Structure 1
Amino acid sequence: MSVKPEAASALFAGPFALATLSAPEGPAFPALVTPDARVRDLRVAFDDPQLTTRTLLESWDTALPRLRALAGTADGDLQPLADFRVHAPVEPRQVFQSGANYRQHVIDLHVAHRAPGDERPEAERRAEAAEIMDRRAAEDLPYVFIGLPSAVTGPYDDVVLPAWAEKPDWELELAAVIGRPAHRVSVEEALDHVAGYTIANDLTDRATVFRRDMPQIGSDWLRSKNAPGFTPLGPWIVPTASIADPGDLRLTLKLNGEKMQDESTKDMIFDVARMVSYASQTARLLPGDLVLTGSPAGNGMHWGRLLRDGDVMDATITGLGAQRTRCVAEAAR
């Protein structure tokens, strides 16, 4: 299913956003998008036929003032957004994913993933999970792991559910997009390295999260999270200046029109700055990289209802627009 950009209830906050678009028969290109749904080809504006959104981010300090100036200029170069296909806004080199970062979500998962033989009452297991969250926050230890760029797909593309995925689930997340290289940056410096924010849906096959053959080695994120198309991204990158407080945004995901996730980033255990800083203590974050910040309560495990062929997910985050993806079952092999 190809969903036109008009499906979004609102485009984004601020005077402009960045997108990667293509005409029906043309290559993808970086574009400036205006709030009234018009676009400017940045290859022309920057006089660079090879320009991509990622190379734009690699020169973010000099590109940002030019983008602001272009956003204030209305001329004949602007074209209707509806004439173009919307792709994932950037091709990252690295994807840093976060687990267990929304307090209520982690408590729900802790209860849902009851260990065999654990017959304790739900209230006791919830209290145990809350204690674990308090300890993690006090010790300042976010949980970050690596995703594959090949899992990224566009915000209106179909999501293929692999035949082997027994329990595919949704996980709406705020994603920070790196604009300046970051290595061993402090929490206070971290947001200076973020160019903007976008929407990510970090799909997970719950059946393969844990290795049943070798439970002592823990999680299998390759198998459970990195099938092609398991990270719908976008539609836009909204610059940081247009988002007043990333710690106070509303994330909402609807499945076939029914609200499933509806939470504020206030419920995060570790905010965006802490996530970026923590990842940078080990890795060197590069322009265009994504730092996914975890998903709130309300996924399929909570509702006892996982993704199926034909399901449509509508996801929104305050100021970042909306994405819509339809699930398509892979033919059994």
Structure 2
Amino acid sequence: MSVLTRNEAQTRAQLLDVHRYTVDLDLTTGDETFDSRTAIRFTAHTAGDTFVEIKPETLRSLSLDGQPLDPERLDDNRYPLDHLTPGTHELTVDATMHYSRTGEGMHRFTDPADGETYVYTQLFLDDVQRVFAAFDQPDLKSVFDLTVTAPTGWTVLGNGTTTRTTDGRWTIAPTPPISTYLVAIAAGPWHSVTTHHAGLPFGIHCRRSLAPHLDADADEILDITRSCYDRFHEKFDEPYPFDSYDQAFVPEFNAGAMENPGLVTFRDEFIYRSAVTDTERQTRAVVIAHEMAHMWFGDLVTLTWWDDIWLNESFAEYMGYQTLTEATCFTDTWTDFGVARKGWGYDAEVGPG
């Protein structure tokens, strides 16, 4: 797969403004693939050439401003858009996409405990193109308007509040402008615990086989979430910028957690199956606070290019420890920071660059 360079991203950002993605995903077409249809509304500032990224199983069709394009021109993960004229354009893409078993793109998991299946996205840092066509770079923010067709009995979660319009058909509230890597959905027969806080819906979710373990800790998780949310609002002048706050504990996650706006995903090892130490509970709480900090610094305000990821993560790490100490029963988190984290900073300080 061709890797986007910084120079290519800078050139494309000078050429384009991306206004809106309208994405329709069908998760009912089989165990190996799903259908993906995308319309991208964008403006070219000048005449020029560029490309859009997609990594399909089959690229069925494309059109630009209603004129068909040749799917055979796809080169690895790049489709060329030649001789763009200045002005507003609409690109439509219809494709079949692979499910992932490695946590890249749309991951699919069948629970051996009960045979139930779950899918969820992990698009950091350049895997949106495994789910739908996109100008995949962090500084080309856009509104995302997603619709998902899911099997009967599934619930669909997304960056915004979700509504089932007909049996199996779900609409997700359009996002504010966000980066491509932050788009998220999670679909399956989730076990959910929901509440409202500060006028917004809050929820925690896991696969059904872990329901008793989530229920045992639901009050603790939600109390930490509410307390950190309130403390961040005391710290920041800007209110929480999204319309809901869901936390999904997902299986086979290839990271610790991911700060998707309005739908944070965590590895479901954080749903403890047996007695654990206070330190382990504190670790989970730190991750909850860290990911919430990203709602402002990382999601609302986002890096232009990946060489600033250190600042994104360092700020969330600092705010997570500080806010947890200030707002919850975990008042000695800085001791844990000194033991578990501070050494990382020393290692980075003596390293090259």
| TM-score interval, smaller chain | under 0.3
Q: TM-score, normalised by structure 2?
A: 0.23
Q: TM-score scaled by structure 1?
A: 0.24
